[in-house]
Amino acid sequence: NEKFKGMMTALLTPMDERGTVDAESLRRLVRHQLDRGIRRFYVGGSTGEAFLLTVEERMGVLETVVEEAAGEQAAIVAHVGCIGTSDSVRLARHAERAGADAVSAVVPFYYKASMKQIRDHYETIMAATPLPMIVYHFPGATGVQLSLDFYEDMASRPSCIGVKFTSLNLFELQQIRARCGDDFLIWNGHDEVFAGGGLMGADGAIGSTFNMMPDLFASFYRDMAGGDWSSVREAQTEANAVIAHMLRYDVIPYEKLVLYLQGVIATPTVRRPLTQFTPEERRAIEAFYAQSGTL
């Protein structure tokens, strides 16, 4: 599982003006990351607008990423989370056929599922594919708080290798580490606490802002691995100046606009109900971009 440790970019899904998935821009985004040394990708997660795409589109996005990263020794994690188990099973089987290295799934979040039903959901997905599973914890979106007992149970299953932990509660992250041991991997999910997650025991991080700041986060990760805490603090401060500005707007349209301004993707289009920025908002972000030494 070593290849999954480290920094993993949660890829955006570029779209053309009409909102159709833009495979060419997606290839350019993957290439842009590979050229900067990034070798881990989380495909079709929250950042990838997974729940605004059809199951078939999600399959297509994964295939494009696998193709573009072929021969690059990249680790590719396919997010297969759905609100219904059978779609997740379809996506997991497809992920294996497509050549992904692992699957990941957010909890089924629409119909209030009991812990037993959530367990069954993961068991069913894991039984459908030999690929390793990464649980995706994102209580801010799902409203589901997973218990330490749940993680301990998951950690006891050979196919579950860890959790992507998207919460600012780093005490909980540390408690998962303490309860589940070092073999259960933890990826920090909120880039604004990248350093904190690492300090509390994360083995890596999966983040959306690595799309637009790959160099900064790559050197940030190296400083963290080397224990250079003053550089780590500087890097987090620099990243957070951008992230704080982004959080005044909306994560996905903001990152797409920046990637567009960087010349990586062809349009900043997002899928509704996400919306494009008004002309004033766009001007404000463009002005920030123009003076930011980071982006």
Give min distance, CB of 116 to ligand HMN, in A: 25
Q: Which stretch binds ligand HMN (CB under 6 A): 21-29, 61-69, 207-215, 268-276?
A: 207-215
The answer to whether 68 contacts ligand HMN (rule: CB under 6 A) is no
R_g of the chain, CA atoms, integer Å: 18
What is the C-alpha to C-alpha distance for residues 256 and 146, in angstroms, rounded to an integer?
A: 31
- Contact between 47 and ligand HMN by CB under 6 A: the answer reads yes
Distance in Å, CB of 20 to ligand HMN, minimum: 20
Half-sphere CA count of 19, side-chain side, radius 13 A: 11
Please give the positions annotated as active site. 136, 164
Q: Does 192 bind ligand HMN (CB under 6 A)?
A: yes
For residues 266 and 274, what is the distance between their CA atoms, to the nearest angstrom? 18
**Contacting ligand HMN (CB under 6 A), which of 46, 129, 142, 167?**
46
By the rule CB under 6 A, 191 interacts with ligand HMN: yes
Helix boundaries (H) for the chain: 23-35, 55-68, 85-98, 115-128, 139-142, 148-155, 170-180, 194-199, 214-225, 229-247, 251-261, 279-291
Under rule CB under 6 A, residue 103 binds ligand HMN: no
220 binds ligand HMN (CB under 6 A): no
- Cα 183 from Cα 1, distance rounded (Å): 9
Interface ranges with ligand HMN (CB under 6 A):
10, 42, 45-48, 166, 189-192, 206-209, 243, 251
